Amino acid sequence: MSAPLYSIPGSSAPTAAAPAAGAAAEPVARTVSEVLAQSQVEEVLAELERDLIGLAPVKQRIRDIAALLVIDKLRAQHGLSASAPSLHMCFTGNPGTGKTTVAMRMAEILHRLGYVRKGHLVAVTRDDLVGQYIGHTAPKTKEVLKKAMGGVLFIDEAYYLYRPENERDYGQEAIEILLQVMENQRDDLVVILAGYKDRMDTFFQSNPGMSSRIAHHLDFPDYATPELLQIGDRMIESSHYRFGAGAREAFDAYLQRRIAQPHFANARSVRNALDRARLRQASRLYADRDRVLSADDLSTITASDILASRVFSKDADKETP
Ligand SMILES: Nc1ncnc2c1ncn2[C@@H]1O[C@H](COP(=O)(O)OP(=O)(O)OP(=O)(O)O)[C@@H](O)[C@H]1O
Ligand SMILES: [Mg+2]
């Protein structure tokens, strides 16, 4: 059986070494430093290091991938060309562990190092790729691929593409198109599959073709409370709030309770908890109609804003993720 060969337009990727048409001819980079300086990739790597708490193994893998691409550029200048390395990836981990955030940074790094032309991220799930009726899946999948060309296609909960219980499931059609494009146009599109580790493992067992095209498996561990607290510090700081007296300790206590409850979603739960604390702060300040509010008043989250959370009450398990 010979499947039709899909080719998605828009991928006339220049080789990594060729300057973009019309760009002023840059001096040829001959050292790692020169490649790093020209591509400005170090800024993104530094940002990743700075902005993301924990995730040491993930950060290391990203640095390794960046190193590979830098060396590839230098090799190309000596005529040591090789086929573009396969960079399709799989990000496994529980909700809120940073998969989408890292994928966006990854897209930027791949772009700066000339691996993909645009560096945007298109995030999809099964419903964006698979149609309800016969004949609908191929056009849907191809449309998504067209949008993602030149960047990263991020498929969240990718295992839902495969439904073994349903013999005539259209997901299989989407998988087949993806496989071809992942193979033939890998110099201009990186596919990242994301989801829970155990389900992804099962998916790969049933889809060896997909498994063999994934070059990098990155596992995102759950955060421990101290990391969650640091993540909270970053979020508070970047939105120009601060913890008042005792509030950070209250938030620490909050996290220790929240982590043990259902639907806990790591950093996402931290963000949601802080959003609710902001709501409580606003209501508290709003109630005081005639007070002149200083910048300090307006930016302080007090211990009471945290302690009013339901995790400290009897209905604790009703807290939303
Ligand atoms: N290590 C981290 N340091 C700081 N902030 C983080 C970290 N990990 C995640 N976040 C923040 O937590 C939120 C959730 O992260 P993200 O959406 O990347 O997680 P996810 O793994 O894709 O989750 P989901 O599976 O629910 O889609 C984002 O606001 C992100 O900025
Ligand atoms: Mg996500």
The rounded Å distance from CA 125 to ligand 1 centre is 17
Six-digit token pair at 34? Answer: 């020169």
Alpha carbon of 267 to ligand 1 centroid (Å): 5
What's the average model confidence in pLDDT over 33-55? 90
pLDDT value at 232 more than 60:
yes
CA of residue 96 to ligand 2 center, whole Å: 7
Contact 190, 115 (CB under 8 A): yes
pLDDT surpasses 60 at 204? yes
Indicate whether residue 269 lines ligand 1 (CB < 6 A): no
- What is the three-class DSSP state of 88? coil
Q: How confident is the model at residue 273, as a pLDDT?
A: 98
- 11, 150 in Cβ contact below 8 A? yes
280 lines ligand 1 (CB under 6 A): no
pLDDT band, residue 164 (cuts 50/70/90): confident
Question: What protein residues have CB closer than 5 angstroms to ion ligand 2?
Answer: 100
The pTM assigned to this predicted structure is 0.87
pLDDT at residue 101, rounded to an integer: 95
For residue 58, pLDDT beyond 60: yes
CA of 25 relative to ligand 1 center, distance in Å: 39
Containing 217, the helix (H) or strand (E) segment is: strand 216-220
Give the confidence band of 228 by pLDDT, cuts at 50, 70, 90: very high
Give the atom of ligand 1 at the shortest distance from the alpha carbon of 220. Answer: 21
Angstrom distance (rounded) from CA 45 to CA 154: 20
